[in-house]
Amino acid sequence: MTKPNWTIRSQIAQALGKVDGPSRAVVPPIHVTTTFIRDPDNQYRSGNVYGRADNETAREAEGMIATLEDAKAAFVFGSGMSAAVAVFLALAPGDHIIAPRVMYWALRGWLMKDAASWGLETTFVDMDNLAAVEAAIRPGQTKLIWAETPANPTWSITDLEGVARIAKAHGARLAVDSTCATPLLTRPLDFGADIVMHAATKYLNGHSDVLAGALATRAVDDFWARIQRNRAAMGLILGPFEAFLLIRGMRTLSLRVEAACQNALELALRFANHPQVVEVLYPGLATHAGHAIAKRQMKGGFGGMLSVRVRGGEEAAIAAASRVELWKRATSLGGVESLIEHRASIEGPDTPCPRDLLRLSAGIEDVEDLYKDLDRALRSA
């Protein structure tokens, strides 16, 4: 049983301290069954009916995520996208959504191109501008505000308390993509959010070997029940082996996030004065527009993600990325390895991302090696 006086770090390191009953194993087992025995009176008192909706290994992962977020409940999904889309599909046709102009590009693309076919309308705003959020409200129609902070890939910061006040005043829910902050740095429910989403593929798993998503909720209400029904109907639950790997990854979350934050801050400080860098985008820098809010919302660090804008524009940025050796040119973030990517060419012509921007996911390597590798690449480009 979880001990009330354990810190979150201790609880997560021990996967909530549970020991498997029959085997006495300290590592949670993998439950791969797809069907379950009914009780003699035809009931399912175990809570498990069928594998499309129920899995004990998935529930172990959900318990850890709910603990991390201090949430009433959590669900895991087969990807971050499936978790996010499940929130939007719990809305009703005709509902209006406010979303960030800068956000995870795949979800932004779904909102731009596909949400309308479900009867949903979306307005994109600069989410770091509370006046713009307020102005976008459609009284009686706006049912969801979707925020992402820090926002990928420019790392702008949303004032969660401010947006939560706007949402509450107009009868809307606030959902927050907190993938890059992780629950160790920011817990959006503490600031008034209703639902938190994680692309668990990233920091929660942390080893670039699992596709997973997660939602955590402030209240187990009718909206949460609709999300649950959608997950069951569409078969969106995370598979048991993937849930096992996610649990394994979360047990080292505090160590990995701490190392990534330290590396990212050191790199941001160094590259802020680099002759080949026009600007460093990182909320941990005092020059960042959202630094004061980030300092209030983010405890223990400012995240492992930063971006650099390269002198010489898009051509120089791509050339620099082509010359790195330790950094790996790859999509994704939050793993133990450091990744670099020219985002604009990935996101396409409608991207709000500057063409000279390189997105950096700081891993846990030696920061001196990381700096020297990118420094050499920038200078040679």
Q: pLDDT digits over 71-82, tens only?
A: 999 999 999 999
- Is it the case that residue 182 has pLDDT exceeding 90? yes
At 24, the amino acid letter reads R
* Mean per-residue pLDDT, 223-235: 96
Compute how many other C-beta atoms are within 10 angstroms of the C-beta atom of residue 144.
23
DSSP letter string over 159-177? -HHHHHHHHHHTT-EEEEE
Confidence at 4, pLDDT banded by 50, 70, 90: low
Q: What is the per-residue pLDDT for 1?
A: 47
One of 187, 202, 231, 359 is an active-site residue; which one? Answer: 202
* Cis, peptide link before residue 153, omega less than 30° from 0: yes
Q: Are strands 357-361 and 339-342 parallel, antiparallel or unpaired?
A: antiparallel
Confidence at 48, pLDDT banded by 50, 70, 90: confident
Catalytic site residue 168? no
Q: What is the per-residue pLDDT for 370?
A: 98
* Mean per-residue pLDDT, 46-68: 93
**H or E element: which one contains 304?**
none
Catalytic site residue 202? yes
Q: pTM for the whole thing?
A: 0.95
Residue with tokens 């898009």, as numbered in its chain: 314
* Mean per-residue pLDDT, 21-29: 85
* Mean per-residue pLDDT, 7-34: 88
30-33 contacts: CB < 8 A, separation 24 or more? 30/57, 30/240, 30/241, 30/243, 30/244, 31/55, 31/56, 31/57, 31/240, 32/240, 32/241
Identify the structural domains of the chain with CATH numbers, from first to last. 8-250 (3.40.640.10), 254-380 (3.90.1150.10)
Using CA atoms, how far residue 37 sits from 23, 31, 48, 87, 237, in Å, is: 21, 14, 9, 31, 20
Half-sphere exposure for 146 (CA within 13 Å, toward CB):
25
Alpha-carbon span 181 to 186, nearest angstrom: 6
Q: Which two tokens stand for residue 195?
A: 């639902």
One of 104, 194, 248, 256 is an active-site residue; which one? Answer: 104
Phi, psi of 308 (to 5 degrees): -120, 140
- Is it the case that residue 41 has pLDDT exceeding 80? yes
pLDDT tens figures, 255-294: 999 999 999 999 999 999 999 999 999 999 999 999 999 9
Q: Helical H runs in the chain?
A: 8-13, 56-69, 80-89, 105-113, 130-136, 160-169, 182-185, 222-234, 240-250, 253-271, 291-297, 313-322, 343-347, 367-380
Alpha-carbon span 226 to 60, nearest angstrom: 22
CB 12 within 8 A of CB 251: yes
CA dihedral of 190, 260, 249, 215, whole degrees rounded to 10: 30
Catalytic site residue 72? no
Confidence at 313, pLDDT banded by 50, 70, 90: very high
3-state DSSP assignment of residue 98: strand
Alpha-carbon span 350 to 106, nearest angstrom: 12
What is the side-by-side strand order in the sheet with 357-361?
277-281, 305-310, 357-361, 339-342, 328-329
Alpha-carbon span 290 to 229, nearest angstrom: 38
Catalytic site residue 177? yes
3-state DSSP assignment of residue 262: helix
Confidence at 3, pLDDT banded by 50, 70, 90: low
Alpha-carbon span 157 to 52, nearest angstrom: 37
At 209, the amino acid letter reads D
Alpha-carbon span 181 to 102, nearest angstrom: 16
DSSP state of 156: B
Q: What is the per-residue pLDDT for 374?
A: 98
One of 159, 177, 194, 356 is an active-site residue; which one? Answer: 177
